[in-house]
Amino acid sequence: MEGKLQELLQQLKNAERVYIQPHNIPDPDAIASSYALQFLLNKYGIKAKIIYVKTIEKANSKKMLELFNIKMTVKNELTYNNNDFVILVDTQLGNSNITNLMKHNVMVVDHHEIIKDNNEYMYEDIRSDVGSCASIIAEYYYVNNILPSVNVATALLYGIMMDTDSLSRRVSDLDIEMFYYLYSKADISIIKSLKLNQIVKSDLIAYAKALNNVEIYGYLGFVHIENCNDSLLGTISDMVNTIEGVSVVVAYARREDGVKFSIRSENRKIKANKLMRFITAHRGVGGGHHEMAGGFIPIDNMDFLCNKQLDTYIRHRAISYVENEDKYL
């Protein structure tokens, strides 16, 4: 056996129960990666359960579970023993989008930036230069000559397409190689039906509201949306980024428990993850990639702001960061 998979199987040799946990509110890349990893481990006699925290928001993510018959269970807490393991997928400890359900035997397969060197992982495969987690899991199949099922190949292909925006965002050689490898094994008609189920009607109302609220300062776009779920916030952030001349977007939604952010940057001077951390500062958590990032400030840490001041505060933080990074603004 080749590559990282051997090490993973070695570590799991004496495992009693194995859980695969994608990030909270799993998206297509996280779902595809978890499902493909479960299928792969099963080939080696390891029965893993996929668990996740919170909910599945996007219409296409829900559709994936239905079309591929993926079984995932919502868990808000977990009782476990010494020989149980959890494999975090498409996320890592310290990220704002993961609720750590098991305090020991944590493993991780991820493609986000390394948050901090964590020596506590029982296994880690973090490749920050890769555009999708699905490509990393696909490589486990590829190098070991294991044939994915049509459903697994299709799910992984869709994961790569969604995270790289159809091979146009954060693409690495591995994403392209795995795209090619999976393409001939996948059922493209399923990809088509997933594409036709990307949004629901109520999303359109949120889009309309968001478009009315867009404010643009130079190449910076801001959009404040009320009562909007995480996935939709990301999609709206993507959409504002397509406005001509806007290369950095700060989208945020105020909720009962705090403020949720989604940042995009197509500007090489401005790193989305750094801008995110500058905005949340010591008040909240944030992280992601150079091109896309997310974050959250809990309500308790922003009681110094009333609602109107929130807009001013966020604009002030973002503009000061951008001015400092881009001296020619």
- Which residues of the shown chain bind Mn ion in the complex (CB under 5 A)? 29, 90, 133, 163
For Mn ion, the closer of residues 164 and 247 by Cβ is 164
Report the residue number whose CB is nearest to Mn ion.
Answer: 29
Query: Is 279 in contact with 317 (CB distance < 8 Å)?
Result: yes
Query: What is the smallest separation between the CB atom of 57 and Mn ion, expressed in angstroms?
Result: 15
Query: What is the smallest separation between the CB atom of 75 and Mn ion, expressed in angstroms?
Result: 21
Sheet harboring 73-74: ordered strands across?
A: 73-74, 48-52, 18-22, 85-89, 106-110, 123-126
For Mn ion, the closer of residues 132 and 247 by Cβ is 132
Helix (H, G, I), strand (E, B) or coil at 138: helix
Query: What is the smallest separation between the CB atom of 131 and Mn ion, expressed in angstroms?
Result: 8
For Mn ion, the closer of residues 137 and 297 by Cβ is 137
Query: What is the smallest separation between the CB atom of 28 and Mn ion, expressed in angstroms?
Result: 9
For Mn ion, the closer of residues 31 and 240 by Cβ is 31
CA distances to 109, 130, 150 from 25, in Å:
17, 21, 25
For Mn ion, the closer of residues 141 and 321 by Cβ is 141
Q: Which two tokens stand for residue 75?
A: 């868990």
Query: What is the smallest separation between the CB atom of 223 and Mn ion, expressed in angstroms?
Result: 23
| DSSP annotation of 92 | -
Residues facing residue 124 across a β-bridge: 108
For Mn ion, the closer of residues 133 and 171 by Cβ is 133
Beta strands at 285-288 and 292-298: parallel, antiparallel or unpaired: antiparallel
Phi and psi (nearest 5°) for 112? -90, 170
Query: What is the smallest separation between the CB atom of 23 and Mn ion, expressed in angstroms?
Result: 8
Helix (H, G, I), strand (E, B) or coil at 140: helix
Q: Which two tokens stand for residue 187?
A: 């059922």
Query: What is the smallest separation between the CB atom of 145 and Mn ion, expressed in angstroms?
Result: 25
Helix (H) or strand (E) holding 259: strand 258-265
Beta strands at 292-298 and 258-265: parallel, antiparallel or unpaired: antiparallel
Helix (H) or strand (E) holding 296: strand 292-298
For Mn ion, the closer of residues 219 and 296 by Cβ is 296
